[in-house]
Amino acid sequence: LTHFFDRRVIDGITNGVGIASFFVGESIKYVGGGRISSYLFVYLSYVSTFLLIYYLYSI
């Protein structure tokens, strides 16, 4: 019973999440001309700068 639960349920959830993230990544990578990583870098840079300024002014 535990072998069935481990193979079907636990492994099924893990494999399903992996396959879903693969297909989502494959479909998203062409949005924006393949520049998603550049957009993400700029966005995270702005957020990091804002958090740094907020932290420095709150001291």
CA 26/CA 49 separation, integer angstroms: 30
Write down the H helix ranges in the chain.
2-4, 11-28, 36-58
Across the chain, which has 59 residues, the per-10-residue mean pLDDT values are 80 88 80 75 93 87
Q: Which two tokens stand for residue 38?
A: 């550049």
Domain segments of the chain as ranges: 2-58
| pLDDT value of position 32 | 65
Contacting residues for 32 by C-beta, under 8 A, at least 6 apart: 39
| pLDDT value of position 50 | 94
